[in-house]
Amino acid sequence: MPRSLIFLFAVASGAAVGNLYWAQPLLDLIAGDLHASQGAAGWLITATQLGYATGILLIVPLGDVLDRRRLVPVMLLSAAAALVLCAVAPSIGVLLAAITLLGITTVAGQIITPLAGDMADERDRGRVVGIVASGILTGILASRTVSGLVAGVAGWRSVYAGAAVLAVVLAIILYRRIPPLPPKDHLPYPRLIASIATVALRERTVRWTLLIAATGFAAFTMFWTALTFLLSAPPFGYPVPVIGLFGLAGLAGAVAAQRAGRLHDRGWSMPATGLAWLGILVAFGVALAARLGVVFVLAAIVLLDVAMQTQGILNQTRIFAVSGQARSRLNTAYITGNFIAGAMGSAAAAMLWMAGGWTAVAVAGMALSGLALAFWAILARGTGGVHVAETKRGPASG
């Protein structure tokens, strides 16, 4: 793959996933403009996430049976249409419907990631997937900052209008740059969706890797959800804009993601995953001392993000190596499992905070790290501590 195409995939994936987060810093502004309550505006985030989960489950698997040279631009253009509806929405009800549609259609990034795995040389797949995944992470982190800056100058509607234009431009460029790709499998749609579970459960490597990945995402969302409570309470008492700046420390994870894939390419996937989880365990240990000063908070954030993104890329690349024929369905299982675990992590953060404050959250994070290390040890014992080479048979039809 030429570097320019890898970079284009990273930018397009980041822009697509960023559509999910434009509204987060704009809720008060949107509520005031549409004469809605803050509670009603808060549903915008929930609607987007529910729509995204639906799109992941029902659309992303199509990457295994359709020509992605057409599928990716079609999804970007569909997202652009939803973004235009968001930009012109006259009421909170219309905006809720439009933003749900946006969540469903803005799944191009999760189609592009396995596409990058398909197009990359086997010896270089980890590096390529890592770069594309770093684009997704950067898009998530940057979208909130860009949204606030643009809305402050030109209003919240301009954010969605600008994103629509970007999606159309990317659709045109990607249609020209992605080579024609024949479908990898031929399955009717009901069988395609039903085969997701079969694909995920058939291979031992995939089963245990999905458990490790889900545990990681639960710990990650638990940390970041509770961090808002910590930074807004004494002894810190930071306002919301300052709390948002702490997310920029997560850019270290984007840098780590670019390098993590190379560890897989060198055959170090399993040892590196274990070391990453030891880093996560240490990060939660550092987080225990967070009340002693902001330096400990920043150290925990950087260490957690670097280690978490490293294990995440290794997990994703490892399952992509299991079957070239079913990568889109494997990615669907991976993202869906993480999404469910992330929701559980967020809910757990609130309950732990009420029960024991930040200490309870940090201890729970250490416990989850220990559980993930146990899963890793079971997987490593079965694989001999190395990554699994791509199988010639694809667990495609179930």
Spell out the residues 6+ positions from residue 123 whose beta carbon is closer than 8 angstroms to its own.
265
Spell out the residues 6+ positions from residue 35 whose beta carbon is closer than 8 angstroms to its own.
none
Helix (H, G, I), strand (E, B) or coil at 140: helix
Task: Specify whether the CB–CB gap between 331 and 316 falls below 8 A.
Answer: yes
pLDDT class of 240 with cuts at 50, 70, 90: low
Distance CA 106, CA 139 (A): 13
Amino acid of residue 361: V
pLDDT top residue among 134 and 94: 94
The pLDDT value recorded for residue 331 is: 86
Helix axes of 294-320 and 251-265: crossing angle, nearest 10 degrees:
40
CA nearest neighbour of 244 among 231, 226, 257: 231
Spell out the residues 6+ positions from residue 182 whose beta carbon is closer than 8 angstroms to its own.
67
Q: How many CA atoms lie within 13 A of 182 on its CB side?
A: 3
pLDDT top residue among 212 and 261: 212
Residue 219 has pLDDT above 90, yes or no: yes
Residue 336 has pLDDT above 80, yes or no: yes
Phi-psi region of 385 (alpha: psi -120 to 50; beta: other; left: phi over 0): left
Q: How many CA atoms lie within 13 A of 133 on its CB side?
A: 29
pLDDT top residue among 44 and 272: 272
pLDDT class of 82 with cuts at 50, 70, 90: very high
The pLDDT value recorded for residue 237 is: 86
pLDDT class of 395 with cuts at 50, 70, 90: very low
Phi, psi of 106 (to 5 degrees): -90, 50
Residue 390 has pLDDT above 60, yes or no: no
- Joined together, the tokens standing for residue 371 give 């559980």
Average pLDDT in the 362-379 region? 95
The pLDDT value recorded for residue 394 is: 43
**Cα dist from 80 to 102, 103, 166, 169, 377, whole Å:** 8, 11, 8, 10, 44
Distance between alpha carbon 320 and the CA centroid of its chain, in Å?
16
How many C-beta atoms surround the C-beta of residue 7 within 10 A?
Answer: 13
The pLDDT value recorded for residue 258 is: 67
The pLDDT value recorded for residue 244 is: 66
Q: For the ranges 82-91, 155-164, 178-187, which has the lowest average pLDDT?
A: 178-187
- Joined together, the tokens standing for residue 142 give 């940057």
The pLDDT value recorded for residue 393 is: 42
Average pLDDT in the 295-308 region? 92
Please provide the average confidence, as pLDDT, over all residues in the chain: 85
pLDDT in tens, 116-168: 888 888 778 778 888 888 888 788 778 877 887 888 788 889 999 999 999 99
Average pLDDT in the 247-256 region? 71
The pLDDT value recorded for residue 342 is: 82
| Percentage of the chain modeled with pLDDT above 70 | 93
CA nearest neighbour of 132 among 9, 3, 312, 256: 9
Residue 241 has pLDDT above 70, yes or no: no
pLDDT class of 234 with cuts at 50, 70, 90: confident
Spell out the residues 6+ positions from residue 30 whose beta carbon is closer than 8 angstroms to its own.
23, 36, 41, 44, 92, 95, 156
Quote helix, strand, coil % in the chain, to nearest 5. 85, 0, 15
